[in-house]
Amino acid sequence: MKRCVCIISGGMDSALSATIAKQEGYEIVALHFNYGQRTQDKELMCFRKVASFVDAVACYEIDLPFFEQIGASALTDKSIDVPTGGIEEGVPVTYVPFRNGIFLSIAAAVAEKHGAEALFIGVVEEDSSGYPDCRSSYIEQMQRAINLGTKEETQLEIKMPLVSLKKSEIVEKSLSLGVPLKDTWSCYKEEEKACGVCDSCRLRLNGFQKAGVVDPITYV
């Protein structure tokens, strides 16, 4: 059976990405990172539920405490406020420096160990928060670098099934595939009830609104 590594944050996008991998017939190795983000505990709980939903054959929960030491992001540095005034142009302060590059590098090591042929990552380009490491052009270059830096028999394809979708389309596709959206989390700030006003909550709520359905998670 063909095998892949799915990076699963616990959010809606990565949950759909992993579900698509399962639908495509992959045996899934689920990978999650705890990097000192504000909603770390909630995201981990959601990851475990999503990994169970896609019948992952192996699960990795990897701690990356150095992100807090680096800081420079409102997600990992409590002295920087998470913006709640609405989505603005440019790269927001919630961007974590080179996060996806680091995640993909570790995912490549896990994939090589398991003899996987693909990596799935739920990056979204058009309707995202303006993060430079979510662009398809960047991910394609990472794929090239990973294959240059691994064993000759390791030939990984990095799959980005959502990269060109809008949030409303992600909601619709998730519902059509039975993704447990109630077990996903998008809020940057809170773990009990989503704040509803951070960039990630706004994008999520807007997606549900345009899809014409109610978000199953609880908001303040």
Top pLDDT among 89 and 71 is at 71
Q: Return all residues near 29 (Cβ < 8 A) that are at least 6 apart.
A: 3, 4, 5, 6, 56, 57, 58, 59, 60, 110, 111, 114, 116
Token pair in block for residue 176: 């059509």
Look at the block and give the residue holding tokens 């990851």: 47
pLDDT at 128 (0 to 100): 67
23-28: average pLDDT:
98
pLDDT at 16 over 80: yes
Top pLDDT among 87 and 81 is at 81
Q: Give per-residue burial for 174-187: e unless 16+ CB within 10 Å, then b.
A: beeeebebebbbbb
pLDDT grade for 22, boundaries at 50, 70 and 90? very high
Distance between terminal CA atoms of the chain? 44
Q: Return all residues near 10 (Cβ < 8 A) that are at least 6 apart.
A: 32, 42, 43, 44, 45, 46, 47, 50, 184, 185
pLDDT at 155 over 80: yes
Write out pLDDT tens, residues 166-196: 999 999 999 999 999 999 999 999 999 999 9
pLDDT at 129 over 80: no
pLDDT at 127 (0 to 100): 65
Asked whether 35 and 73 are in contact (CB, 8 A), the reply is no
Please tell me the pTM assigned to this model: 0.97
pLDDT at 130 over 90: no
pLDDT at 210 (0 to 100): 97
Asked whether 122 and 9 are in contact (CB, 8 A), the reply is yes
120-130: average pLDDT:
86
Residues of the chain with pLDDT > 90: what percent?
95
Write out pLDDT tens, residues 26-81: 999 999 999 999 999 999 999 999 999 999 999 999 999 999 999 999 999 999 99
Would you give the distance in Å from CA 115 to the centre of its chain? 22
